[in-house]
Every structure is written in structure tokens, then in C-alpha cells.
Amino acid sequence: MKPIALASDHAGYELKTVLAGELEAAGYAVLDLGTDGPDSVDYPDYGHALAAAISEGRAERGVAVCGTGIGISIALNRHPGVRAALCHDDTSARLAREHNDANVLALGARLIGSEVAKDCLKVFLDTRFAEGRHVGRVAKLG
Ligand code: RB5
């Protein structure tokens, strides 16, 4: 199985570290694209790096974290084939997979706690795309 790619800015660094530990404990390989500490960086750089990892086939799924999850998901969704979903709870994470076939989970570290983020991560990884009526809609995303 390909690794799960992780990327964050400084605001998401701590939560990214927590989620990397969760993934490794669950047996996933992790491709950590940074940032590597709390020093201020620009979230688009990390969103674009994660999008490149998906586009180049180095990872099939990713997790992106910034303060709100908004900026990094905007950067990710500028790339064809990347479907980043900003999720706030297990329901949004489930529906992002079932309906949107999202391949990147985006989280806002300043908006949700680490336990909610862990729930989002588990549900995101465990939920399959529902296909059916959603296939054509997702295809229209380009
Ligand atoms: C950084 O201060 C913050 O703007 C960033 O993490 C993110 O929330 C942007 O959308």
C-alpha cells in the first residue's frame, strides 16, 4: 500500500505530528512533507507539495492541516485530480469519502481538537466511495 502523505503549515504542525503517530500505530506508512517545526511558513507551499505527491503517484491519499484547513485545501484543490475535503467531524469525513471520493482530508488545527481530528482520520481512511450516482458527479469535478 502506498503511504499516506501528510503536510501542514506551522499552525498545523502539532496536529500533523499527532496524526502521523496515529497512522504509524495503525500500520500505515507515512510520507511527511513538512513543515518540520513551529516556525512560520506559507500554507500554499505545503498544499502544493501534497498535491504533487498525489499527482505523481507517491501517495494515494493525504492529510493536510493548517490553522483553519481553509487555505491549505484551497491550494490543494487548484490541482486536477486532487479532491481535498475540509472536515470538522466524523460525519463530514464519511460523506467526503462516500459522495466526493475525496483523496485528501483537510483539517483546521485551530478549530477542532485532536480527538475529533483522530476520529475524522479514522473514518476518512475506513470509508469507501459509494459510487452509483456519485460517479458522474465526481467526474464533472475534472
Ligand atoms: C496561519 O496563521 C493561518 O493563516 C493558516 O494556518 C491557515 O489558517 C490559512 O488558511
Pocket of ligand 1 (CB under 6 A): 9, 11, 43, 66-68, 70-71
pLDDT for position 28 = 98
Distance CA(84)–CA(101), nearest Å, equals: 9
Confidence label for 130 from pLDDT (cuts 50, 70 and 90):
very high
pTM surpassing 0.95? Answer: yes
Q: What is the grid cell recorded at 65?
A: 492541516
- Ordered domains of the chain (ranges, CATH): 4-139 (3.40.1400.10)
CB 18 within 8 A of CB 117: yes
pLDDT for position 48 = 98
Opening angle at CA 126, ends 123 and 129, nearest 5: 100
Pocket test for ligand 1, best of 68, 107, 110 (most atoms within 8 A of CB): 68
CA 40 to centroid of ligand 1, rounded, Å: 10
pLDDT single digits (tens) 34-89: 999 999 999 999 999 999 999 999 999 999 999 999 999 999 999 999 999 999 99
